[in-house]
Structure 1
């Protein structure tokens, strides 16, 4: 005998991607780039939703993934990374839909390019009288970004579509999966804490340290702490900072001094001998930001009042930088932070 709960689950609208039941989230593949685009190339012909309403629902769906990851997913008028179509029954490149009820959508894993919805369904915005396009699109885009089905029953990526409130948040299982593929949205995470960022240090391709005066957020673990907790012996607050991946050193700047740090295999920062050092040029006291630009000789650009200066740590000298227009055309007069790769 099949109980009522099981029978209702079997009859529930569901995704057409094959079920795989691992421990919670599972990843299939990923895009090599973090800047993706989408386009509805075939709108629903049966829904009461206007084309603009359909576009809005899709945009809100993809933003749920972009908000918690390093992805940028934008609508385009041209050749998209992900092609969205409303189809019926037999259609190219995939298992046919089955009419109203049953399969409601499917999508290809990367590097596939399609996200399809069954146009025999009653697509709506909301939870009464049909299928909520935003929720189901968010699920299908999860596949298109590389996530398989999860056995966490409360996650968006569970195989059976669920009813969520309009202001729902991704389940931690969904967030963990997408961040495993593409990393965290550190800028969004940081902006939730700070109104402006005074310094950004890229430690590696996916990890950052954000500085706001006397506090830092260590993007490697998400912890917020005082500057001196992460950089022992350092200043009580920071005006500019930069990390050199070639020399494995971090430089902090406050007023007329600079602090240099090495980073160990354990990820801990250690103050370099003879730090801090004086900056012998009053024109660049309290720099606005710092950018590493010459890996071979370890030259660092310091910006102050719209002018760049070259800081050479091992020589302890600061020189005017005469090529700023070449390197930074149309640079704004005020910069909160900068990142060097």
Structure 2
């Protein structure tokens, strides 16, 4: 077994952890362990059961597309979710409980990777109180990771194992257990062993939740009138009365929900909304009022008048969004748009071309006005008008060039509806897809700098 690929955490004799020659109080493998049947528990666990996770980097590994990696990580965490009282939510902020990254050799934690073969990955146990690296999982990008294939190293299997460490499980001596330290080759229908389940339930208890009702989408009435994100990483597409919570481009089970069920105290039919990452606050507008929220909870003192929070803005907005290029806040009303640098400030000043400006003059390829806009977890900006949506170019104020072209049908591409008669999806069908330019030319930097001043 000496040359068999394995997890980077060394094996500790559960009956005598002091025999580990590498034991170190500051290292993940130096934690005291307790023997419980054949699984092994570290001496710490998360003090909560609702955990957040995040993948570091827009393209974590060259072996698989970013969305593919995200789906694998979500599936890997779901194994532990299903077997215990734990739940997991993706979060865009850097303070997620479980930070996931790929690296080679020296990658910032003193536990260097060793190139292809050998160590595949390592993870850090939870600590109490938490430290910055607690729960994090690192994957050796010298490996060739794969999914659904016997070639390369199966990323799902490795991720399930490493997340076991992130949750507080040590290695097991049960050959069929996920927490067995050695990689056993591709297993098409991988499952947790009874030993894994016993271990995770010893830490966090059983999963007693009633299964969520499947999502129900009325494909004949899908029209997004406002959209937003919240600090906990949740993303919402909403209409006059209901909100769909979205994960990995699909509707979460149990949705849509009434607006008041998801955001208690909000009125029906909001006009616009945006998430401001700098403060972690979500702003929702209706008529002449604005509500500020921390996740799904309205802050004290709200609603207040729009003029109190955003001087010079009109009432009855059409849409709002933050553009990731310059971090400015844009408000749309009918055919005009306004720009603000931050909440609590007035309109940006441009004496030669003052705000408001015609929406269609700057945002090329879009209709004269829009109903909703928001920033997805990949920082790309999506805009909705009627039954269709548009994706903005990564760094230009225009619609992204893509096949099939924009606009696309919201019901087909976001809610996986079958195209009905009269619905145009430009000859394509299926789940939402984004085509990003693969080559960024040298003048991009110049263009980015220019954009900060021109719009």
Q: What TM-score, normalized by structure 2, do the two folds share?
A: 0.39
> Is structure 2 residue 104 aligned with structure 1 residue 82?
no
Instruction: Give 1 or 2: higher strand fraction.
Output: 1
Provide the rounded CA distance (Å) in 1 between the counterparts of 2:81 and 2:146: 23
Which of 186, 199, 202 is matched with 1:177 structurally?
A: 199
Q: Which residue of 1 aligns with 2:126?
A: 110
Q: How far off is 1:329 after superposition?
A: 7.1
CA deviation profile, 1:43-87 (whole Å, cap 9, x unmatched): 666533100000011110010000010001111111210110001
1:270-285 → structure 2 map (5 Å cutoff): none
Q: How far off its partner does 1:24 sit?
A: 1.1
8 Å CA contact 2:6, 2:119 repeated in 1: yes
Quick one: higher RCO (CA 8 Å, sep 6+), 1 or 2? 1
| Residue correspondence of structure 1 range 1-341 to structure 2 within 5 A | 9-22=1-14, 23-28=37-42, 29-42=44-57, 47-78=62-93, 79-111=95-127, 112-188=134-210, 191=211
**Conserved in 2, the CA contact under 8 Å of 1:47 and 1:123?**
no
Q: Aligned-pair distance for 1:92?
A: 1.3
CA shift in 2, pair 1:151/1:57, >3 Å: same
- Whether the aligned pair in 1 keeps the contact of 2:60 and 2:66 (CA below 8 Å) is no
Contact conserved, 2:55 with 2:100, CA < 8 A, in 1? yes
Specify every segment of 5 or more residues in structure 2 that has no aligned partner in the other structure, as ranges: 15-36, 128-133, 215-263, 267-455
Unpaired runs of 5+ residues, structure 1, are: 1-8, 196-327, 331-341
Q: Secondary structure at the match of 2:192?
A: coil
Q: How many residues are aligned here?
A: 187
CA distance, structure 2, for counterparts of residue 47 and residue 13 of structure 1: 20
1:164 Cα offset (Å): 4.9
Name the SS of the counterpart of 2:2 in structure 1.
Answer: helix
Q: Could you say what the CA RMSD is over the residues aligned between the two structures, in angstroms?
A: 2.3
Q: Residue 46 and residue 80 in structure 1: after superposition, are their counterparts in 2 closer, same or farther (change >3 A)?
A: closer
CA contact (8 A) 1:21 1:149 kept: no
Work out the CA distance in 2 between the residues paired with 1:158 and 1:21. 14
The C-alpha deviation readout for 1:280-304, integer Å capped at 9, x for no partner, is xxxxxxxxxxxxxxxxxxxxxxxxx
**Does the 8 Å contact 1:20/1:150 carry over to 2?**
no
Give the direction of change, closer, same or farther, for the CA distance of 1:153–1:44 in structure 2 (3 Å limit): farther
TM-score by length of 1: 0.51
The 3-state SS of whatever aligns with 1:42 is coil
| Cα distance per residue 1:31-52 (max 9 Å; x no partner) | 0000101111136665331000
Cα separation, 1, equivalents of 2:107 and 2:182: 23
| Residue 21 of structure 1: how far off its partner (Å) | 4.2
Distance 2:68 2:171 in 1: 27
The 8 Å contact of residues 47 and 124 in structure 1, kept in 2 or not, is answered as no
> In 2, distance between residues paired with 1:167 and 1:132?
12
How many Å separate the matches in 2 of 1:120 and 1:74? 28
